[in-house]
Structure 1
Amino acid sequence: MPSSDKPAILQVIPALDAGGAERTTIDIARALSGRGFRALVATSGGRMVSLLESTGAELVPLPLNSKAPHTLLQNAHRLAKTIRRKQVNLIHARSRAPAWSGLLAARATHIPFVTTYHGIYNASNALKRLYNSVMVRSDAVVANSQWTADHIVREHRIAAERIAVIHRGVDLEEFDPAGVSPERIDRMRSAWDVPPGHTVVLLPGRLTRWKGQLLFIEALAQLEREHLLGDITALLVGDAQGRDQYVAEVRRAIARNGLQTTIKIVPHVEDMPAAYLVSDIVVSASIDPEAFGRVAAEAGAMGRAVIATDHGGAREVVLPERSGLLVRPGDPFALARALHRWVALDEKERAV
């Protein structure tokens, strides 16, 4: 039986592959373990499991990536057993499917239930709205930005006082420019085959339409048409996560605009601090609002300026004309102008 003098917090999340919610889960597990708590994470697995276990957290394998009603009920029963066996004091859900299981388990075991809204969910019909509502059926609701909190109030018609706005943090030990060796930077430049003297523009994010890769390609194509592109290497860094058709569309857009030697598609990168330092400019081109804007926060911690679309949580992270620029959403010409303006600055002027 675990020692009851150490409070236990159980986080539940569908999988640990890639993304802001997943990274936050691991960061919180590390912080809890470092402060004398027992950190547990229930998840279906994923490539970040080894990173989670390195924090000292305990993995609870469960098929929490399933939305099937019978599986949600089975997971609720399994979570309740875990709560009793591990003497869990609080359960924290970071996504809807595991939140339903977590809610039922918390009520069965009479422990507090907390949810964090990491993103904006589709609410196109009454059934979807019911499914989403689990995120506000908790004892406490956490929003990762004021923009997210405002959305929750509008969407679910709950009192703003029920919501705690906690902006996602950045681990300043991991994202510390002084902690990245020149060898790590050189290794990444070599792996990406970045020509000497090129300005490197980095767009991190899953390869999915709303992240704006096609918009970014169109902005670079506009600069090329105006003979303003110059010596640039642009990197699309992120997972496809099975979106093969979209990746093919991105490749066609690159080829159609003659940008095959300018734009590289790079799979998942483990060493993001080094990736940021390889870059000169970081772009977040999301065509739909980001709930927070993790890329902008991480890039800022690494001393890199950010060009982001002017909506969502990015407005709470990017300081225009200080830590970067905000551009009109969905406008490749505005993004092209911002890129040209920033590329024209010298190294001292670009410094954040």
Structure 2
Amino acid sequence: MKALLAVSFGELFLKGANRKKFFNDALAHIENNIKVIGYDNFYLESGKLYIDANIDNFDQLIEQIQKVFGIAYIDKVYKVNKDENDIYLAVKKSIQENYGNENKTFKVITKRVDKSFKYTSPELNVIIGDKILDDFNNLKVDIHKPDFKVFIDIKTSAYVYTKRYPGLGGLPIGSSGNGLLLLSGGIDSPVAGFLMAKRGMKINAIHFHSYPYTSLKAKEKAIDLAKIMSNYTGKMQLFIINLSEIYKAIASNCDRRNTTIISRRFMVRICEKLANKFDFQVLVTGDSLGQVASQTLESLTVVENASALPIFRPLIAMDKKDIVDLSKKIGSYEKSIEPFDDCCSIFAPDKPVTKPRLKYIENDENNLDIENLINEALETLEIIEI
């Protein structure tokens, strides 16, 4: 009887001709997440990944595998010979480990990939179910709404498991193009990056700061957030750019109420320059409709006008509470609420325009040397490998 971890993949198996690429993307991410913990070997059989590792490390491995997109379930399985007695011994051990003497109901589910096996799936279900009832007085059968299920997969060997750990679902990273996330120091943007990564987008990030007007702690916070995100997104590049000269030019030449909108238009223009160089196909922001002055419909429209790239806003219809809950789930919340001002907040006007009109914003921008300011900002570019 050999203990293994089994990984079941979800939506990626619906992707036809691209299935092999998506599968390899998921495998690479799993391997990257678990290599520090260590494992002996892994192999594929009939659409599942089996990982041979020290059983004492199973809980740690499951925790890391659960951070990989494209996975439906992780199971602790026992691999045994295709013999009903060996199969039952594994079933008995698994039930004892996971459910002990609890009063519960169960159902046996057999999947017979090897059609040469001497019992049909319903026949083996009955054989194993009867043995369970004989040995466990606390258990009863319920085929409709059981408390737990006994899974038996008949392949080249038999695999037995009674407890499943849910994965994140979604698609493997890199299967849906490349995006550049505008990563602030707040709660929203890491969640936006997480959600786009869940749909298979390869995420890199850009952070704008305005040192010396803001602390270097704000920049360090963004780096820490990128590291937290990389548990889910895999390796990423973090682009860091100083916007202080742009903010100074806006303050000297434009209506102060327009500062936030004009600065965000500069951000997306800079992002577009980087996208052309590094092959990003879309920008991703943490905007949520109506949450702040810069996220009214009018503000979002005027900002988007400055970009030739599409801007994806996965949080656009989410409530703040839901965003906060998700940030806690992915582990970014505590870092996000650390009290270091970012460049947007430090230069924000007291009474920002909430319904900007494009012609007035463009009139203000006519007072600025936009191309030169962008080029000067790009000279401050730092690239950090996360």
Normalised-by-shorter TM-score class: under 0.3
- Structure having the higher strand fraction is 2
Q: TM-score, normalised by structure 1?
A: 0.27
Larger relative contact order, structure 1 or 2 (CA cutoff 8 Å, min sep 6): 2
